[in-house]
A and B are shown apart, each in its own frame.
Chain A
Amino acid sequence: MQTGICIEHLTLRYGRKAALCDVSLTVPPGLYGLLGRNGAGKTTLMRTVATLLPCREGRVTVNGVPTAQAARVRAMVGYLPQDFAAYPSLTVREALGYLGTLSGLERPLLRRRVPAVLRLLHLEEQADKRVGALSGGMLRRLGMAQAILHDPPVLIVDEPTAGLDPEERVRLRALLARLAAGGRVVLFSTHIAPDIEAVCGGLAVLDAGRVRYAGTVADLKARTGAGDLERAYLACVQGGKD
């Protein structure tokens, strides 16, 4: 079976405006970063891969399955949306139980998986708190917990580190790296270059709906002669405009 995410000539328009323009990208197993400024098209790309937006021009496959076969793709994907929220009246444990049920987890498996992800995300003490009472950072952790709850082979995480304090950012990056180490495909979008530099081998730079670069972090730095990814990214994007 072909593993990874394969995007071929994807164009997606909101009305007359193209949010993605002839995007082609191959995301292999491992941790893969998607870097771009706000409005670059990262979220649109991730939502398309997660079957939440229609793929009318081009082709997207997840582990060899085209996104047109939404039910099969959904069974493989864990998704953390950029603006994740959950039902405020449920407790954290209940929210995970409910979302796990929607993922098709049977009760015995849920009884094992929910405490496991609570532990993994350091949410045990918040387990019986109402979701509505969680802080932004805790909500982000809950978002990660629901994304990995059903142990998906493909994980799509949209700006997971935005709004987190430095300690939580480091912890979350380490978790993503650990999840990717087992052969899972992890597509990780952010506009914070150091987050990608810290954990990703491969990355794509997205700007104005187009792929400006796709390859390794080391190669991008070498090509641009920049000492760090932040400068390399700026050189790449500004070079693209010239």
Chain B
Amino acid sequence: MQLFLWECRRVAKSVVYWLYAAALVLFLWGQDALPVNEGLSAFVPPQPGDELNTLVPSGDEARIMPEAAAALRAAWQEDRFVTYPPPLCIYRSVRPSDAQHAALGEVLDALCAPDGTLRPGVTWEAFTAGMEKADRILGGGSDWAPAGLEQKYGLVPATYADLVAEYEACMAHDRYTGAFARLFCDYAVIALALFGALPAVALFRQDVGAGRGGAAAIWVRRVPGAALVGARCAALLALEFLPVLVMDIGLTAYYAGLYGWRSIAPGAFFGYSALWLLPTLALEIAGGAALTLATGTAAGAALWPALGWLCAASGAGGLSNGSTYANLLTPRHNAVGGYLVFRRGLARLLAGRAAALALAGVLLAAAVWALRCRRRGVAVWRSGI
């Protein structure tokens, strides 16, 4: 605990930390997310006729199968596919090899007649097995991954009842703040993916910046490497999350003023922030620490924001089929409301967040190992610290 508090003090005295906090707030301010004042129509009861402009998943296998097969055939004939392969779900343009092209053709032949229509008697199980095989050939994250089929294909115009159901679910579960909190997290997670690693890189680089002698004066001490890295990363996590918590408090108070304390869910911003943002922050911090200790350079200050930018930039492409919920760095939900969509993607979101935490754990272990090597004068990547 004593070491954790000292590390907190060091983080709080770091210029890079305050730049991070300022960048986070400015980014959200620039996105009009402090507070969000758009999309308030989500809280207005739907009127008859509103449904004409809205498509919703039908879940109808008879609609999904021919649409998905036709889309696969079109991409196959063009010989070009767009995928968002996990875990990062970054945009990828895939041009299959001849063997892969032939294998995809076999999948199509098994499911479709020569004229492109679905073969009679193809069951949903056989169809999804074929789609899974096609997705695997493409490296995963394609529009034909079975988990996303229902969100992507077989869309039908919404009924008035669908809109009422969404509205009622939103009012019952989100209670205003839940709906705004998801959009807040959608923006905040991008900012954290862009800037979250920087204070960690700066703090671990300070050992190097203090010169070989500075690092030696620290590393010759009896503190175990795991305790040093653990306390430092925990301090970074706590203090980097602090501005988010402050914004959560401010936004909760703002919406309480707008709708009344009794109407809102007071814990929504805090709950969504913890679930949505903390794993990304943990991954950024552990990644920044591991890369800095392994290379002895500030490469993490370039690599992690670049990864975050790639994830955020390409993540929007998966919004339509909900696959972006599984994004390791930047799960997206770029809308006010959409509670039922969120519920359908929740399992993916939880799996992605758990994967991010697990990877953060692995990177933390790598950071401890790199520190151990450097303390014994064994070069990990480049000697120097």
Contacts of A94 in B (CB 8 A): 9
Q: Counting CB contacts under 8 A, is A104 at the interface?
A: yes
Q: How far is the CB of A114 from chain B (nearest CB, A)?
A: 13
- Given A51-B375, A77-B220, A89-B13, are A84 and B214 neighbors across the interface (CB < 8 Å)? yes
Of the candidates B3, B6, B9, B220, the one whose C-beta lies within 8 Å of that of A50 is: B220
B68 to chain A, nearest CB (A): 58
Contact with B along A86-101 (1 / 0, CB 8 A): 1101100010011101
Smallest distance from the beta carbon of B313 to chain A beta carbons, Å?
Answer: 35
Q: Is the CB of B222 within 8 A of A54?
A: no
Kindly list chain B residues whose C-beta atoms are within 8 Å of the C-beta of A98.
6, 9-10
> Is B44 on the interface with A (CB-CB < 8 A)?
no
Which chain B positions have C-beta within 8 A of A71? 222, 224
What are 12 A-B residue pairs whose CB atoms fall within 8 Å in the complex?
A: A47-B377, A50-B216, A52-B375, A54-B378, A81-B217, A87-B206, A87-B210, A94-B9, A101-B3, A102-B222, A102-B228, A103-B223
Whether the Cβ atoms of B218 and A102 lie closer than 8 Å is yes
Question: Is B376 part of the contact surface with A, judged by Cβ < 8 Å?
Answer: yes
**Assembled-state Cα–Cα distance A47/B213 (Å):** 10
A83/B220 in contact, CB under 8 A: no
Question: Which B residues lie at the A interface, using CB under 8 A?
Answer: 2-3, 6, 9-10, 13-15, 206, 210-214, 216-224, 228, 375-378
A11 CB within 8 Å of chain B: no
Question: Which A residues lie within 8 Å of B228 (CB)?
Answer: 102
B377, A79: Cβ atoms closer than 8 Å: no
Provide the residues of chain B in CB contact with A143, threshold 8 Å: 213, 217
Q: Which residues of chain B have C-beta atoms less than 8 A from A77's C-beta? A: 220
Interface residues of chain B: helix, strand, loop or mixed (majority):
helix
- Would A79 and B2 count as touching, CB distance under 8 A? no
Number of A-B contacts (CB under 8 A): 92
Q: How far is the CA of A47 from the CA of B376 in the complex (A)?
A: 10
User: Smallest distance from the beta carbon of B174 to chain A beta carbons, Å?
Assistant: 43
CA distance A83 to B214 in the complex (A): 7
List A residues 63-87 near B (Cβ within 8 Å): 70-71, 74-75, 77, 79-87
Interface membership of A53, Cβ < 8 A: yes
In the assembled complex, the Cα of A71 lies from the Cα of B13 at a distance in Å of 29
Question: Which residues from chain A contact B219 at a C-beta distance below 8 Å?
Answer: 52
B216 in complex: contacting residue of A52, A90, A97, CB < 8 Å? A52
Interface residues on A, range: 35 or more
Interface residues of A (CB under 8 A from B): 47, 50-54, 70-71, 74-75, 77, 79-87, 89-90, 94, 97-99, 101-104, 106-107, 143, 146-147
CB proximity of B212 to chain A, nearest CB, Å: 6
Whether B217 contacts A51 by the Cβ 8 Å rule is no
Residue of A74, A86, A87, A107 ringed by the most chain B CB atoms within 10 A: A87
B221's nearest neighbour on chain A, judged by CB, is A102
Residue contact A83 to B206, C-beta cutoff 8 Å: no
Residues in B with CB closer than 8 Å to A51 are: 220, 375-376
How many Å lie between the Cα of A5 and that of B36 in the bound state? 67
User: Contact partner of A85 among B2, B14, B213, B220, CB < 8 A?
Assistant: B213
Whether B217 lies near A86 (C-beta < 8 A) is yes
Q: Decide if A82 touches B213 in the complex (CB within 8 Å).
A: yes
Q: In whole angstroms, what is the CA distance A98 to B2 when docked?
A: 9
- Cross-chain contact B10 with A102 (CB below 8 angstroms): no
Q: Name which residue of chain A comes closest to B378, CB basis.
A: A54
B14 in complex: contacting residue of A74, A80, A89, A146, CB < 8 Å: A89
How far is it, in angstroms, between the C-alpha of A50 and the C-alpha of B6 when the chains are bound?
24
Q: Which residues of the other chain, B, contact A89 by a CB distance below 8 angstroms?
A: 10, 13-15
Specify which of A54, A85, A97 is in contact with B210 (CB 8 Å cutoff).
Answer: A85
A142 → B minimal CB distance (Å): 10
> Whole-angstrom distance between the alpha carbons of A168 and B216 in the complex?
24
Given contacts A101-B2, A101-B3, A104-B222, contact A70 B216 (CB under 8 A): no
Shortest A123–chain B CB gap in Å is 16
Q: Which of B3, B212, B217, B375 contacts A70 (CB 8 A)?
A: B375
What are the residues of chain A within 8 A of B3 when measuring CB–CB? Answer: 101-102
Q: Is the CB of B377 within 8 A of A54?
A: yes
Alpha-carbon distance A146/B218, docked complex (angstroms): 10
**Complex: A103 Cα to B211 Cα, angstroms:** 20
Please measure, in the bound complex, the distance between the C-alpha atom of A70 and the C-alpha atom of B378, giving whole angstroms. Answer: 13
The residue of chain A having its C-beta at the shortest distance from the C-beta of B203 within the complex is: A87
Contact flag A85-B375 (CB < 8 Å), given A50-B220, A98-B10, A102-B228: no
